[in-house]
Structure 1
Amino acid sequence: MNIFPRFFCLLSVITVLFLSSCAQKKDIVYYQNIDQFATGTASASFEPKLQPDDLLMIVVSAENPEVAAPFNLYAVTIQSNLETAGNQPRLQTYLVDSKGEISFPVIGNIKLGGLTRSEAMVKLKELLGVYIKNPTVNMRILNYKITIQGEVTRPGTYPIQSERITLLEAVSMAGDLTVYGKRNNILVLREMDGKVTSTRVDLTNSNFINSPFYYLKQNDVVYVEPNKTKVNSSVIGPNITVAISAISLLITIIALTTR
């Protein structure tokens, strides 16, 4: 009796059971209830608040540039012999300390933590009004960045130029989720008032557009968990190779002995 075909069929069945998996639409597709979602409810005027460790570039302008000069300090750099005379000086940057303050020329310490960029510029203009007539203030967060980890195509830390980015834009920057990423349970870590908070976001449900985490803030960390298929494959992967090799060896031995 030749039992080789039976073992071959058994091997095929085992392989299919281990390697195949059923992916359902509800686990993959984004915005599944977008047709029932009330459009226009997400805040388009989102602006992040300044927080400790933010690095700010602040430029003060006035009708008379000489009056504004004391408020526009330049960073001190050591010029080497290799540097050319054409190098442009860089404006001094200001680090928001643990108290939410910066040390500004002439004025001294200013509390900016907890304010939006627009609110901070208004406050600076009011303080500068004592020294300058109709001052203009421009401010930018230089180290605005977000980190994306887990089941995305290109995990990493990304600098943000616009100071406003949605979770969807961040995911797109990272090359979108892989097929193994959990779209309904994305973790967002955020530091607020010195404490790290966490929340879960479901990209398959359009209601997340109204979530406070639809827009990401500076230094947010986004983690995409692997789904069951990826978790199971991490265990099955090494073991199934050994199992197939063992079964193949067994079939070969049986085939030789039954001839």
Structure 2
Amino acid sequence: MKDKIILLSIFFIVLSSCVSKKDILYLQFDQIDQAKVSNDYQLTFKPDDLVQIIVASEDLVASQPFNLPIVASSPTAIQAMGQSKLMSYLIDASGEIEFPVLGNLKLGGLTRVEAIKLIKEKLTPEYLKSPVINILITNFKITVIGDVKRPQVFNIENERITIFDAIGLAGDLNITGNRKNITVIREEKNIKKIYTVDLTSNKLVTSPIYYLQQNDVIYVKQNNAKVQDASYTRNTGLFISLGSVIISLITILTR
């Protein structure tokens, strides 16, 4: 009888902490308007971005003054010789860089297309004819923390990453991660903005944070079952004792 009472008590505790599959599966609910789904990802340059700007033209000699020098990086334990790489510009707090010959250029707040257009207008036709401009962020990173398998900071090379890509890099959410209340912290025009998204809703693909921006922080909270489990872990013995007493009283009274 005592064994049955203990088993019943454990059963009730486990039952109360069960998670429905509706809380686990991604992209289950809500119809979306396909017209609102866009693949037109636009990265915006921000203060503290490190950017490489390569200027090319038919006249290699004429374009040379508009490119920063190539420097050798320090060797590492893996690379005995180090690597050569182009120096980068740091976008300052006012959104500007100091560009060779042209002086200060404001890139903060511009998309890549807008920044390339600005530099081309400054160079043409006084300095170069039909220049080709390429701009790359060298310190693009996102951070995933909370109830995931591998919380950490990830350096991204291609600058195009979705929230699901980031979750994949972190090894996916743990089974106890709250998929319906994901927090994304983003800096926009020097203001920290907080977005909340539901990974179980199809509407996520139309969200402004479906495509991540540099320095975004994704925070995955624990679900209610995990929070309750923390309490159960501390008080399991007490709950079993109380459950045993209650079941014993019920058994005595119903004889």
TM-score (norm 2): 0.84
In structure 1, give the amino acid aligned to 2:47: P
Q: Deviations over 1:10-47 (max 9, x none)?
A: 2222222223433223211221136x333353211111
Question: How many angstroms apart in 2 are the aligned matches of 1:79 and 1:192?
Answer: 34
- Unaligned 5+ segments in structure 1 are 248-259
* Structure-1 residue corresponding to 2:175: 179
Report how far residue 194 of structure 1 moved.
0.8
Question: How many angstroms apart in 1 are the aligned matches of 2:108 and 2:11?
Answer: 57
Report how far residue 89 of structure 1 moved.
4.3
Would the alpha carbon gap of residues 87 and 148 (structure 1) be closer, same or farther in structure 2, given more than 3 Å must change?
Answer: closer
1:224 paired to 2:214: no
Question: How many angstroms apart in 1 are the aligned matches of 2:216 and 2:65?
Answer: 35
Question: How many angstroms apart in 2 are the aligned matches of 1:209 and 1:88?
Answer: 39
2:33 to 35, 38, 42: 38
* Structure-2 residue corresponding to 1:253: none
2:187 to 183, 191, 204: 191
1:63 paired to 2:58: yes
1:125 paired to 2:120: yes
Higher Cα radius of gyration? 1
* Structure-2 residue corresponding to 1:103: 98
Contact 1:27 1:182 in 2 (8 A): yes
Question: How many angstroms apart in 1 are the aligned matches of 2:84 and 2:165?
Answer: 34
Question: How many angstroms apart in 1 are the aligned matches of 2:237 and 2:214?
Answer: 44
Which secondary structure does the structure 2 equivalent of 1:190 belong to? strand
1:140 paired to 2:136: yes
Would the alpha carbon gap of residues 207 and 87 (structure 1) be closer, same or farther in structure 2, given more than 3 Å must change?
Answer: closer
Report how far residue 117 of structure 1 moved.
1.1
1:116 to 102, 111, 114: 111
Question: How many angstroms apart in 2 are the aligned matches of 1:89 and 1:8?
Answer: 70
What is the aligned-residue identity percentage? 42
Contact 1:74 1:89 in 2 (8 A): no
Would the alpha carbon gap of residues 74 and 89 (structure 1) be closer, same or farther in structure 2, given more than 3 Å must change?
Answer: farther
* Structure-1 residue corresponding to 2:5: 10
In structure 2, give the amino acid aligned to 1:28: I
Which secondary structure does the structure 2 equivalent of 1:110 belong to? strand
> What is the number of equivalent residue pairs in this alignment?
239
Report how far residue 238 of structure 1 moved.
3.2
Give the stretch that moved more between structures: 89-98 or 138-147. Answer: 89-98
CA RMSD of aligned residues (A): 2.7
Question: How many angstroms apart in 1 are the aligned matches of 2:113 and 2:234?
Answer: 55
Question: How many angstroms apart in 1 are the aligned matches of 2:73 and 2:26?
Answer: 52
Contact 1:47 1:164 in 2 (8 A): no
Would the alpha carbon gap of residues 19 and 46 (structure 1) be closer, same or farther in structure 2, given more than 3 Å must change?
Answer: same
Which secondary structure does the structure 2 equivalent of 1:143 belong to? coil
Contact 2:26 2:201 in 1 (8 A): yes
1:74 paired to 2:69: yes
Give the stretch that moved more between structures: 229-238 or 9-18. Answer: 9-18
Contact 1:152 1:178 in 2 (8 A): yes
Contact 1:54 1:96 in 2 (8 A): yes
Q: Deviations over 1:168-224 (max 9, x none)?
A: 221122111111111111101001111111011011111121111111111000111
